[in-house]
A and B are shown apart, each in its own frame.
Chain A
Amino acid sequence: MSDFVIFLIDALVKSLIIVVSLLTGFAYTTVLERRVIARIQVRIGPNRAGPFGLLQPVSEGLKLFFKEDIVPNEADKVIFTLAPVITAVPALIVLAVVPLGSEVTIPFLNYTTSLGLSDINVGVLYILAVTSISVYGITLAGWASANKYAMLGGLRSAAQMISYELALGVSLLVPVSLAGSLSLGAIINAQDPVWFVFYPIVGQVAAAIFYIAILAETNRAPFDLPEAEQELTAGYHTEYSGMKFAAFFMAEYMKMIAVSAIFASLFLGGYRLFGLEDLLGGWMGPLILAGKVVASLVFMIWLRATLPRFRYDRLMSFGWKVLLPVSLVTLVLTWVVIVLELIPVAL
């Protein structure tokens, strides 16, 4: 086989692995969320379908397959159908630039490859670009539904997501500055001895702001204003049913997984954990990353069970008047520390 064919097969297999693991991750994050929230609220949660309720997502997925797909009369049919696609695609492709592990050799084939689809040199820029596309999907869904609740939900969501994207972009520049590169591989390598979250003050503040901003970007509680059911019924997906609704649901959970992996790569050392990632011939790396992602997901679920929803005006002023100035100050502080070579190594 020629090199190019091997390269294509390599890329195809890795893409399929990313998509399949995101889909199973999505299915089991929903179970995890319902079980964890149930436990926090002193309930049991879904435990009938299969052992520990593990077949719950399968039964729900099958149920949604056979639901009637309704497009309202006054809706813009084309955009109404395209909006879930525009929302789901970015959630699926954002993990492309995140390295999932170091180099491994596949047994029997004797083929060495790096875990991770493509560590491009503008990885952080790619993440910013791709995550902002999903704003279009949600806004268009709200607009095309021809429903007042959906319209308001879509508008709110657009305003919220673009406001928090500023804080997200600025806090993202702190690890970029510390590593001196936009490539996620280089950022992970720069955290080899000390994770960026352990850099005094700048690391913690930037990580906290980034985490708050990704909660707002993924429309998670306490920032789930676009779907505030007391005010907006179901927000931008009020009119959606069947698998079109599932596509929005899927996009939200896959985005949670993807941004958790990005958060882990930027601040928590990615797939690295004190040299343990080289165990099992390098296959330990993805497991370590998965562990960090699950920890982050459980934290998101915990936040949802704990915090009440923000009021909309407070949400907007928190984004603009607190997060944006604080993240800019943190960024400048990081630059001063780097230029004056004051970087104190923690631990």
Chain B
Amino acid sequence: MLIEQYLPIAILLAIAIVLSLIVVFISRIMGPFRPTAKKLSPYESGMTPMGPAVRRFPVKFYLVAVLFILFDVEVIFLLPYSILVQDLGVYGLITVSIFLTVLTIGFIYEWKKGALEWE
């Protein structure tokens, strides 16, 4: 039964959310609250920051995210095969090795193109 399997997880999720919200708001209720302009400045007690904090960031991070999406989708494709390795036998192994060959060619291309270098 679906509900028997997932309802307990929903209950745990509800407890976890309530608990985390309590944890996050308890300091506001129990702790002091005396804000001053200096205290609320970014990086208080450190050097005064210059310029805005949220600015353009290196495009490398974006590239990593794109590569991650590509490979993660491929990992998801391998998941159903993993369960049925024994049942599909040699036929399945040949099929999945064709898929993995295409994946490996893409991976080697990325590597040689320098997409994995972090300069």
Contact = CB atoms under 8 A, between A and B. Distances in A.
B16 A11 contact: no
A65 B118 contact: no
A180 interface: yes
Interface size of B as a range: 35 or more
B24 interface: yes
Contacts of A149: 43
A250 interface: yes
B79 interface: yes
The B interface is mostly helix, strand or loop, or mixed, namely: helix
Given A338-B86, A339-B89, A67 B27 contact: yes
B105 interface: no
B21 A145 contact: no
B3 to A, nearest CB: 9
Contacts of A238: 43
A97 B13 CA distance: 12
Contact of B19 (A19, A146, A328): A19
Contact of A180 (B35, B37, B86, B96): B86
Contact of A242 (B31, B53, B111): B31
Interface in A139-179: 143, 145-151, 155, 158-159, 162-163, 165-166, 169-170, 173, 176-177
Interface in B86-100: 86, 89-90, 92-93, 96-97, 100
A15 to B, nearest CB: 4
Interface size classification for chain A: 35 or more
Contacts, number: 217
A96 B35 contact: no
B71 A166 contact: yes
Contact of A81 (B24, B43, B71): B24
B12 A68 contact: no
A18 interface: yes
Contacts of A104: none
A324 B78 CA distance: 14
A339 B92 contact: yes
A125 B31 contact: no
B9 A93 contact: yes
Given A155-B57, A339-B86, A339-B89, A148 B49 contact: yes
Interface in A310-347: 312-313, 316-317, 320-321, 324-325, 328, 331-332, 335-336, 338-339
A169 B74 CA distance: 10
Nearest to A339: B93
A120 B15 contact: no
Contacts of A242: 27-28, 31
Interface of B: 4-9, 11-13, 15-17, 19-21, 23-28, 30-35, 37, 39-44, 46, 49, 52-54, 57, 60-61, 64-65, 67-68, 71-72, 75, 78-79, 82-86, 89-90, 92-93, 96-97, 100, 104, 107, 111, 116-119
Given A159-B60, A243-B24, 18 more contacts: A8-B11, A11-B11, A19-B19, A65-B27, A69-B31, A71-B40, A88-B19, A89-B13, A118-B6, A147-B42, A173-B79, A181-B83, A243-B25, A243-B26, A243-B27, A244-B24, A313-B118, A335-B85
